[in-house]
Amino acid sequence: MKVTALLVSHDGARWLPAVIQGLESSTRLPDAFSLVDTGSTDESADLVASAFGGAPVRLDRDTSYAAAVAAGLEAAGPAADDEWVWLLHDDARPDPGCLAALVDVAERSGPEVVALGPKLREWPSLKRLLEVGVTISGAGRRETGLEPGEYDQGQHEDPQRVLAVNTAGMLVRREHLERFGFDPDLPLFGNDLDFGWRLARAGFTVLAVPDAVMFHAEGAHRARRRGELARRPHRDERVAAMHTLLANSSTPMFVVRWFRLLLGGALRAVGHLLIRRPGRARDEIAALGRIHLAPGRLRRARQRRTAETTGAPDGAEAAARSLLAPAWMPLRHALDFLGEVGRAIWGTVREAVHVRTGAGPEATVSGQLLRSPTTWVLVLVLGVSLVAGRTLMSGGPLHGGALLPAPDGVGHWWRTWAESWHWIGVGSSVSAPGYLLPLAVVGTALLGQAGAVTWLLFVLAGPLAFWGAVRFLRRLAPGRLAIYWGAAAYALVPVVSGALAQGRLGTVVAAVLLPWTAGAALRLGDPAPEKRVRAVWRTALGVSLIALFVPFVWLVALVLVASARWWYPTRVATLSLWPIVVAPLVASVPWLFDALRHPGVLLLEAGRSQGLSAEPSPWELLAGRLGGPGDAPWWFGLGIVAVGVVALLRSDTRAAVSRAWMVALVGALGLLVLSRIEVRLPGVDTALRPSYGLSLLLVQGALIVAATLAGNGAVRDVAGRSFTWRQPVAGLGVLAAVGAVVLGAGWWVAGGTPGPLDRGEVRVAPVYMGDLANSRPDGATLLLRGGPTDAGAAPVSYTVVRADAPRLGDEAVTALTPPDEQLTDVVQRILAGSDRAAEQLASYGIAYVHAPGPVSDEVAGAFDATEGFAGASADSPDSRAWRVTHTPDLSAIDDSGSPLHVPLLVVQVLALIALLVLAAPGRSDRREGDVA
């Protein structure tokens, strides 16, 4: 048996001395050497030449491995009988007994064994196993069957049949190497798998020999060297995997694997984006492109393989299939990945806690959390919120004021968001509001419980705002007491202002997100470019999310960005902040395009604005009240104003406090502008005042920040001075600050969360009408209110209800939907005594007419006396209901939505994903572009 060692070198000077040393110490030396160098720019060729006494065959740098091996075989001269070729890499060092063990097994094996491979161990760790034979999964993943980081403890002893062995150390019959050869379409990666698979399909056997050990540095795979053939190792590996899978599959499996690779590649690309590995995502897409843009290459490869398997023994194909990785292998990898992610998150949490508490790495997270006063203050705030929200603990869906009840399931939100045509009211092609997307996502995470989303937001708004405020204030001031006071005062703003009780979803969400966004914005002036860029994206994400609920925040952000140079001590290029202004716009499509037709809606917030009649007085606005029901006595809030003013008296913090006051002024000016605007929307029958919530949050938040900045260490500072007017003023300031929080919290806890926010079933029509409307769009109910009664005359107002009750999100669609004049005319004609109008009413899919009591005689009489209406059961004695006797259909409605809706949704989703990815903590990826 003759063994010819074939060594291919390529910029491997860093490993070659050890490789040569390994060869020299082999207990069984090769009988001949064939040396090939593919354009090394280092001293690889010289090292080889001096070690083996002959110059290597010099080839170009872009020579593929297959061509290099072919050249090596040619240089080795004619084949001898029973000649084997031992393939060697310049980064793989053989153990002294490696070749001897391979030769021993080869000599004891039958003729069907044509290739053998050693056990590969990691170099330089030398202990970790890399491969004991390899195979490939349906997803194209290289499978070794080893645990990650598995150590070689002799657990793999006997030679075993495998699909393929690595070319590093492969001992292969020269005859078969020349007959089959490596695929020239696989220049560097994956040719071992392909070669082994082809041998198996032809009826031959490949064995992994654990007694033979090779140490492999995987220079190309780990990007430790870069050549023309290894510029993007991940992409090339994916191309090779796809090529191998598709070229060696039978025709039926080819179709299955092609679809799987296509879908899997796209999903993997998205997955890489989600974990901020855009380079990997690009590689996946590029690999797909390479495969699909050169179909001829694949066709030729399949033709070659068909020829190779001609004459193969029966069962060879099945035997080869049995050597592939099992189908469940990708699932195992997914579980492994999730486990890794979980461990990584936990590690991040631990690290954050340790940094916060200053504890060493030996301290447990739970122990540190329990010892942190912030934890206990947060628990206290949570307890206060739960006690105050005791009336909201049970019952039907949360609703009241501006808040419509959440749907029964999150599917309603998804449908409303995704569909270009909504069966809401008369029907509408107006796009759903953007805030449905985050609500739907959170609702899905809560196992589809849409009601839990609004409940969590409103009941836990205080603790969530407190948490964010603590994190934000910590970046501004050291110490604890002032920060806890500031966070508590801020957490009470949505409560005492009345936003919570009035169901102002936008203001509540803004109150929760604003501290996090402001915290990110603080770092816009960070000197480290990486942190500054991340701060831009985090701020953009925060503004975008708030803008989905309160679009007015975009204008505030625009003002603040335009004046960014003034806010930050280090010069901040305004243009670099463009994502903060642009991202909210992109994230708000497609709703934004509908909103721009009625720009007034951009000044409102999420929810049913016409459900509120807030008219705050000057004193109420000064004290941070929105007016209307459910707000605390306005004079409770004077303490915040007083302490904000007093904060300006401290000279050493006046500059920072003045900046906070500037923010307050921006908010106040915004409020002033809003107070002069009347908003008219096509689907709302009254003029509306813009939402004051966000502006008031800015004013109150800024005053609290000012007080926190000045209050931090103020007592110690004042106490250390001789007695002047400062001590009494500081004392009064502390009293006002504490009083505002204590009074607000006491009022909240004592009275509970006041109305109109409440929990309970909401129905606008009898149950059977709602059930029918829920089940089909042509089962709608026409709801009538008003008309002349004993209480006075009012116009008859009609609403088409295609559900048991309008749900959160529907109001934004109806607000931008103009009334159907034709339907108005139909109702008018019914009231005026016209016949044949019932049929027209039925053409709107209206099955029932319901008039909640007290019902105007004119309304009741008209429907009583018009043909096409039959009496139906009402839900109360003073209500009336009629059934439309004509079969309802939807012939009067053109239910065509915008063709641009779906593309714009894709834009919105991609924008939000991109924001999330870019705002997420960075993940270093040393494999990419890091050549050792």
Partner 1 sequence: MSRVVAVLLVLATGASLWVAGLAGGIPAEEHQALSAQQVTRSLNCVTGLPAGRAVVGALAGEVNGNRPVRRGVVDLGRPRSGFVLSAGVDASASAFASQDASSGPWYAAQPCAEPSRQHWFLGVGGSQLHQSTLSVVNPRSGEAVFDVRVFGPRGELDVPGLRGLSVRKTPLHLDLTRVAPSTDDLVVSVTAIRGLVSASLVDEWAPSASAKRLTEFVPAQADAGTDLVLGGLPEKPERATLSLFNTGENATVVDLRLVGEDGTFTAAKTRTVTAAPGQLVQVPVPSAGRQGASGVRLTSTEPVVAGLRSLAGRDVVRGPVLGALGESAVIGVPARAEGRLRLFNPDDAAAKTVRVEFFGADGSRLLQRNVQVTPGAAVAVAPKQLRAGAVRAIRITGGDEVRAVLEVSDGGAAAMPVSSVSGETRVPAVRAGS
Least CB distance to partner 1 at residue 581 (A): 24
563 lines the binding site for partner 1 (CB under 8 A): no
Out of 68, 136, 737, 815, the only residue in the binding site for partner 1 (CB under 8 A) is: 815
Q: Quick one: 312 or 860, whose CB is closer to partner 1?
A: 860
**Rounded distance between C-alpha atoms, residue 835 and residue 845, angstroms:** 18
Stretch that binds partner 1, among 441-449, 589-597, 673-681, 739-747 (CB under 8 A): 673-681
Kindly state the smallest distance separating residue 705's Cβ from partner 1, in Å.
14
Q: Which of 662, 762, 872, 920 binds partner 1 (CB under 8 A)?
A: 662
When the beta carbons of 298 and 699 are compared against partner 1, the nearer one is: 699
Among 761, 835, 889, 930, binds partner 1 (CB under 8 A): 835
Instruction: Give the separation between CA 795 and CA 809, rounded to whole angstroms.
Output: 27
Rounded least distance, CB 761 to partner 1, Å = 21
853 binds partner 1 (CB under 8 A): no
Categorise residue 770: left if φ over 0, alpha if ψ from -120 to 50, beta otherwise: alpha
Restricted to residues 863-902, the positions that interact with partner 1 (CB under 8 A) are 864-869, 871
Q: How many residues bind partner 1 (CB under 8 A)?
A: 79
Residue among 310 and 651 whose Cβ is closer to partner 1: 651
C-alpha distance from residue 451 to each of 389, 394, 409, 411, 478 (Å): 15, 11, 8, 12, 39
The count of other CB atoms within 10 Å of the CB of residue 475 is 12
Q: Which of 820, 895, 925, 928 binds partner 1 (CB under 8 A)?
A: 820
Q: Which stretch binds partner 1 (CB under 8 A): 125-133, 504-512, 542-550, 824-832?
A: 824-832
Considering only 108, 676, 716, 923, the residue that binds partner 1 (CB under 8 A) is 676
Q: How far is the CB of 816 from partner 1 (least distance, A)?
A: 11
Q: Are 541 and 490 in contact (CB under 8 A)?
A: no
Site residues for partner 1, 694-723, by CB under 8 A, read: 699
Q: Which of these segments, 56-64, 235-243, 782-790, 907-915, binds partner 1 (CB under 8 A)?
A: 782-790
| Residue indicated by tokens 């809003």 | 674
* Cβ-contact 215, 122 below 8 angstroms: yes
- Whether 812 contacts 857, CB under 8 Å: no
| Options 169, 203, 389, 683; binder of partner 1; rule CB under 8 A | 683
Mask 301-340, x = binds partner 1 (CB under 8 A)? Answer: ----------------------------------------
Residue 256 or 793 with smaller CB distance to partner 1: 793
Q: Which of residues 512-541 bind partner 1 (CB under 8 A)?
A: none
Are 294 and 301 a contacting pair, CB within 8 Å? no
Report residue 305: phi and psi, to 5°: -70, -35
Q: Is 859 in the site for partner 1 (CB under 8 A)?
A: yes
Out of 41, 303, 348, 686, point to the residue binding partner 1 (CB under 8 A).
Answer: 686
- Binding status of residue 351 toward partner 1 by CB under 8 A: no
What contacts 241, CB < 8 A, 6 or more positions away? 136, 140, 141, 142, 190, 193
Question: Left, alpha or beta for 395 (phi > 0: left; psi -120 to 50: alpha)?
Answer: left
- Could you give the maximum distance between any two Cα atoms of the chain, in Å? 116
Interaction of residue 762 with partner 1, rule CB under 8 A: no
Pairwise CA distance, residues 123 & 93, whole Å: 8
When asked if residue 740 is in the footprint of partner 1 (CB under 8 A), the reply is no
Which of residues 60 and 685 has its CB atom nearest to partner 1 in the complex?
A: 685
CB-count exposure of residue 328 (10 Å: 0-12, 13-18, 19+): exposed
Which of 167-175, 288-296, 833-841, 887-895 is the region at the interface with partner 1 (rule: CB under 8 A)? 833-841
Using alpha carbons only, give the angle 271, 277, 280 rounded to the nearest 5 degrees: 80
Shortest distance, CB of residue 537 to partner 1, whole angstroms? 31
Residue bearing tokens 């006071």: 485
219 makes contact with partner 1 (CB under 8 A) = no
Helices (H), 275-394: 278-293, 295-308, 316-322, 329-357, 365-371, 373-388
Residue 49 touches partner 1, criterion: CB under 8 A: no
Q: Which of 370, 672, 719, 931 binds partner 1 (CB under 8 A)?
A: 672
Q: How far is the CB of 489 from partner 1 (least distance, A)?
A: 17
* Binds partner 1 (CB under 8 A): choice among 120, 668, 816, 918: 668
158 is an interface residue for partner 1 by CB under 8 A: no
Residues numbered 602-661 forming contacts with partner 1, rule: CB under 8 A: 610, 613-622, 645, 648, 654-655, 657-658, 661
Residue 393 near partner 1 by CB under 8 A: no
Name which of 206, 313, 296 is nearest 247 in CA terms. 296
Helix (H) or strand (E) holding 784: strand 780-785
Segment contacting partner 1 by CB under 8 A, of 18-26, 571-579, 714-722, 778-786: 778-786
* Euclidean distance between CA atoms 531 and 828, whole angstroms: 63
- Tokens for 763, please give them: 């129905």
Of 88, 280, 66, give the one whose Cα is nearest residue 180.
66
Give the one residue of 684, 765, 874, 884 binding partner 1; rule: CB under 8 A. Answer: 684
Exactly one of 823, 874, 892, 904 binds partner 1 (CB under 8 A); which one?
823
Interface with partner 1 (CB under 8 A), residue from 77, 367, 731, 861: 861
Minimum separation from the CB atom of position 539 to partner 1 (A)? 24
Q: What are phi and psi of 139, to 5 degrees?
A: -90, 0
Among 50, 563, 574, 828, binds partner 1 (CB under 8 A): 828
Tokens matching residue 430: 């107006």
559 binds partner 1 (CB under 8 A): no
Interface pick for partner 1 out of 795, 853, 903, 929 (rule CB under 8 A)? 795
Which residues are CB-neighbours of 188 under 8 A, at least 6 positions away? 64, 65, 220, 229, 230, 236, 240
Nearer to partner 1, 464 or 827 (CB): 827
What separation in angstroms does the CA of 910 have from each of 658, 799, 904? 39, 36, 10
Which lies closer to partner 1 via its Cβ, residue 857 or residue 889?
857
Q: How far is the CB of 788 from partner 1 (least distance, A)?
A: 6
C-beta of 263 vs 865, nearer to partner 1: 865
Closest approach of partner 1 to the CB of residue 412, in Å: 20
* Contact pick of 331, 344, 370, 793 for partner 1 (by CB under 8 A): 793
Residues 414-453 contacting partner 1, CB under 8 A: 426
Looking at beta carbons only, is 501 or 837 nearer to partner 1?
A: 837
Q: Is 819 in the site for partner 1 (CB under 8 A)?
A: yes
- Residue 846 Cβ, how far from partner 1 at the closest point, in Å? 14
Which string of DSSP letters, residue by residue, matches 879-899? -EEEEE-SPP--TT------T
d(CA 871, CA 878): 14
Q: Cα separations (Å) of 490 from 279, 539, 740?
A: 42, 20, 11
Residue 271 vs 788, nearer CB to partner 1: 788
Contact between 773 and partner 1 per CB under 8 A: no
Ordered alpha helix ranges (H), 156-250: 174-180, 191-201, 233-248
Q: Is 831 in the site for partner 1 (CB under 8 A)?
A: yes
| Sign for the pseudo-dihedral over CA of 123, 127, 132, 134 | negative
Exposed/middle/buried for residue 897 (C-beta within 10 Å: 0-12, 13-18, 19+)? middle
